[in-house]
Amino acid sequence: MDIKEFSNSITEIVAKAMQSVVTISTVRIAMDEFFGLAPVRGVGSGFIIHSRGYIVTNNHVVQGSSTVYVVLPTGETIEAEVVATDPYRDLALVKVDTTNLKPITLGDSDKIRVGEIVFAIGSPLGLPGATVTMGVISAIGRTISGENIILEDLIQTDAAINPGNSGGPLVNVSGEAIGVTTAIIPYAQGIGFAIPINTVKRFLEMISKYGRPIVAWIGVYVAPITQEQARMFRLPISRGLVVVGVVRGSPAHEVGIARGDILIRANGREISSPRELRMAVEESIEKGYVELEIIRGSRRYNVEVPVAIQTIT
């Protein structure tokens, strides 16, 4: 494929994906220093996942809003209903009362690779209409702290992501959404982050199964261990998760899990990503506990950690 063919193929991919990308405009009521209550407007992005009006975006795009509007790719503006929000995953599902929309294809974020070309599509800085930036996946499995939030298992990209891009899709060269871009990290310079699309699928699964998102948690923040790290620190394993934080008073804290511990198995299965640990915890809801195999120094042991459930309203 020559450069012209490559350019044309990118144009076609982006043009098709843009048919599923929307602009989200919000209004929230805030206290004004001089005049009391006053409307504050915000803007973000989203993408259509069902022809009957269901749209995914970031939670922080719609959080606290009294009114949410969706600007469709056709330019039509429709007031939207916020169906569900999950501040822990920074995801929201909104719906507009219309049909025959063009949903984007959801990919498989477990199959993405560092160096893969991606496109971030959204409405940056409140500018009308969708725009696109191109870059590569520069890292996966990132754990990042923002204002009052910690997000795990993020995709890192050098595709430019600005305020207003939040909630738009990160698209691969097959035209599939593999992530939800987020501009919630204020100190990012030259890099952006996206929530993996498989996290979105799990969010939608929870809504389908329980009627609303729920959070099953044990109270640890983790990051993957690479083979290079394992060699550098002479670890007795080549894959696993290192505990980078433990919530005080959480089930993990109560059973003695500490920062620096290495989690290598959950319910008897090897784990190497925060998503695998999260899925093991969520699969253990009915059982009530998740069994973890842990390495601490030269010691290897198993512990049953109670699973705490939080319903998000």
Domain end point (choices 43, 72, 96): 96
CATH of the domain at 33: 2.40.10.10
**210 dihedral zone (left: phi>0; alpha: psi -120 to 50; beta):** alpha
Over residues 89-109, mean pLDDT = 95
pLDDT for the residue 32: 62
Do both 69 and 146 map to the same domain? no
Average pLDDT along the chain: 88
Structural domain harbouring 38: 3-96
Percent of the chain with pLDDT over 90: 59
pLDDT for the residue 52: 94
pLDDT for the residue 255: 97
Angle at 53 between CA 48 and CA 54, to 5 degrees: 60
Does residue 2 or residue 296 have the better pLDDT? Answer: 296
Do both 144 and 60 map to the same domain? no
What domain count does the chain have? 3
Name the nearest CA neighbour of 194 among 226, 159, 225: 159
Q: Looking at the predicted structure, is the pLDDT value of residue 115 above 90?
A: yes
Length of the chain: 313
Do both 186 and 111 map to the same domain? yes
Range in 33-42, 141-150, 224-233, 294-303 with the lowest mean pLDDT? 33-42
Question: Which residues participate in catalysis according to the annotation?
Answer: 60, 90, 166
pLDDT for the residue 126: 66
Do both 219 and 302 map to the same domain? yes
Do both 114 and 37 map to the same domain? no
The runs of H, that is alpha helices, within 74-226 are: 197-210
Domain end point (choices 96, 125, 152): 96
CATH of the domain at 274: 2.30.42.10
Q: Looking at the predicted structure, is the pLDDT value of residue 142 above 90?
A: no
Chain segment 186-221, per-residue pLDDT in tens: 555 678 899 999 999 989 988 988 888 888 889 999
Domain end point (choices 172, 206, 240): 206
Range in 41-50, 126-135, 152-161, 218-227 with the lowest mean pLDDT? 126-135
pTM as predicted: 0.80
Chain segment 18-37, per-residue pLDDT in tens: 999 999 999 887 666 655 56
84 with 127: CB under 8 angstroms?
no
Range in 28-37, 53-62, 90-99 with the lowest mean pLDDT? 28-37
154 with 144: CB under 8 angstroms?
yes
pLDDT for the residue 200: 95
Do both 201 and 114 map to the same domain? yes
Over residues 274-292, mean pLDDT = 91
